[in-house]
Each structure stands twice: as C-alpha cells, then as structure tokens.
Amino acid sequence: MMNAFDALFRPFDLGPLHLRGRIVMAPMTRWKSPDQFPGPDVAAYYRRRAENGVALIVTEGTTIDHPTSSYSVRVPAFHGAALDGWRRVVDGVHEAGSRIVPQIWHVGPMRHPSNDYPNRHLPNASPSGLFRPGGKQASAPLTRAEIKEIADSFARAAADARALGFDGVEIHGAHGYILDAFLWEGLNIREDEYGGDAVARTRFAVEVVSAVRAAVGADFPVILRVSQWKQQDYGARLAETPEMLKAIFQPIADAGVDMFHCSQRRYWEPEFPGSDMNLAGWMRRLLGKPTITVGSVGMAGPMSVTDVGERAEVSTDLAPLIARLEAGEFDLVAVGRSLLADPEWARKLREGRLDQLKPFTKEALDILY
C-alpha cells in the first residue's frame, strides 16, 4: 500500500555514501557533554534516531582543536579524548543501519562572557574583531597566521572523522560562526586579501574547504552548512539575488563541497522574489550540487514562525515538502526539533502512526530523549 510519505524513504547516493532514505537528523547543540566528552547517553541518543529510520545523522556541532573554537565546556569537542566518545557514537549508529557525519565547528566571534567556555583568557576569533555589525571592536582582527591555524584545525578534524569511521563530514559555515563571519560584510571589514567584495570574502571559506578536501581525499563526502540569516541578525543576507548567491558559493563549491546543507528558519519561505523556491532549491539549481533543506519540518503553531517558544504542535501536512522533494528542488530533508522531541518521528511517519507523534515542548531541550 502506498504511503503519503514514501518519498522520504527512497534511497539516495552521494558518491560512496548510500542512504536508505531522505530524512536527515539536523545538528542541534545539546550541552550534554561534560568536559567536552560525548558520553554513553549521547551515543544512545543518536542511536535511537538511527534505530527508528533516520537515514543520515548530522551530529550537533563539535568543536575543532583550535583553542578558541568552543563556547562551552558542555559542548562536545572533536579532538583529544573526546574522539573515543565519538567512536562509540559512530559504532552505535552503524549497528542500527544508518549513516553519520560530524558537524565540525568553530564558533568564531560567538563566545559570550556568560558561558563557561574553555581558554577564557584568549580573545574571540573574528575577521575584524567584531561580534555584530557596527558594534564595538571586541578583539584584534585575526592575523594571516591565525587564519591558517584555524583552516589547518578544520583539516585535522576532518581527517579524524575519516579515521573514526564516519561516513563524511559537515563543515559549519552558517549562522554567524567563523566561516560565515568572513562571508558577511557586516563582520568582515578587512582591507587585505581576506576582505573586500562578496567574492573576495570567500577566500577563507575556500581555504578551509580546500584544506578539508586535501585531508580526506576525493572519495569522502564533504557537506557545507550555509545560511543567509545570522544569530546576530535574523534578517541578514549574504546575497540579494540569485546571481550574487552563485558568485559567492561557486568558488567554495569548486574547492571541494559535495553537498550544501541550506539552513532556513522555515523551509517553505521563498528565497528570492518571483519564485517559490527556497534556499536549498536555488543552491541546487545554481551550483549543480545536491542540497539538504531544513527549517521547522513537522511543526505547526507559533513555534514554527517565532523563536524558540514554549511549545509547537505537530504538523502532518508534509505534502508541500514532499512535492518539492519529488520535483527535485532539493535532495534530502533535515528535521530538527520534531526529531529532538520524538526519536520515533521517522518510523511513525512510515507506519502511519500520525496520532502518536509527539509535539515539541521547551522541556525537550533539557532531555536526551
């Protein structure tokens, strides 16, 4: 019997990466790794999603070995002793039949004094020393040597991902973090080769992707997460037109990106006037690379159109999403808060148990269901 959600469970291949379906677990920071170590509870949390039909898991952001990469000692690292914890995560997900990639991360200017981050004596890493556009300079701009150190750190993390048995790697290049800070005119006012116009500002991202590609080889999938919006400004945009979007991301794609993970707060919103296509659709059309869409999938009510909120009711009206998927607008669908609250979300869809889907509540942020 046909299921309305069958399209979400059709296989997909990204080079050597074979996925049993199109549902991706989106990366979500959980603050549940004391001393930056992902323990058995973290491994079980990811395995539950794999056991219930999620095809690809993108881990929460996990920080590279650069000394200012993290904004909390409760966020997992991707170096040193923490790698042993990640090995158990990988093994559990594979045993359950799914694939997994780590999201490797440097928070850049986003460390905040209220957080318990490592190496508090060191300044934040920012292209021009800014946290927000027009704000007070909080630190010295990164030097060329420091920029290279960060790129090399991403490369080491990617090599470790391959050595641990992950199925690929995702570089976090969105939301105002380090790569995005260099791309964003509001934070990058440098006058050297790492600043300039929108295309010139891609230099750091190109160097990071190139270093990662060189570290992992040609046959290891590299995903890049991108966004227009920033945590410092939800209305911020890197590109106002499709032509500018292509100009910015073409050199980054050419450096070695296999797939773009396109972050929107609401997947159904059109990216540019005159078309219903979202960001993932435009990136796929312009760059010829597969894409992942994300943004409030499976959610209804206030939380799908505001900030975190208290509660979001379940939406089972995924017909518009599936129509876009079947039309080839994007290739994979990442699910965040719906999967955070309900580890069986994918299985329940497949089995038609829609009345058993659990709504997202604020309490879900504090528990590794």
Which residues are part of the catalytic machinery? 177
> Which residue spans within 21-134 are E strands per DSSP?
23-25, 56-63, 99-105
**Rounded Cα gap, residues 89 and 94, in angstroms:** 9
Contact 99, 167 (CB under 8 A): yes
**Rounded Cα gap, residues 140 and 124, in angstroms:** 9
**Rounded Cα gap, residues 162 and 102, in angstroms:** 10
For the chain, helix (H) and strand (E) counts, in that order, are 10, 13
List Cα–Cα distances, 309 to 141, 312, 315, 362, in angstroms.
Answer: 35, 8, 16, 7
Backbone angles phi, psi at 235, to 5 degrees: -90, 0
**Rounded Cα gap, residues 143 and 65, in angstroms:** 18
Contact 70, 63 (CB under 8 A): yes
User: Would you give the distance in Å from CA 70 to the centre of its chain?
Assistant: 16
Contact 332, 292 (CB under 8 A): yes
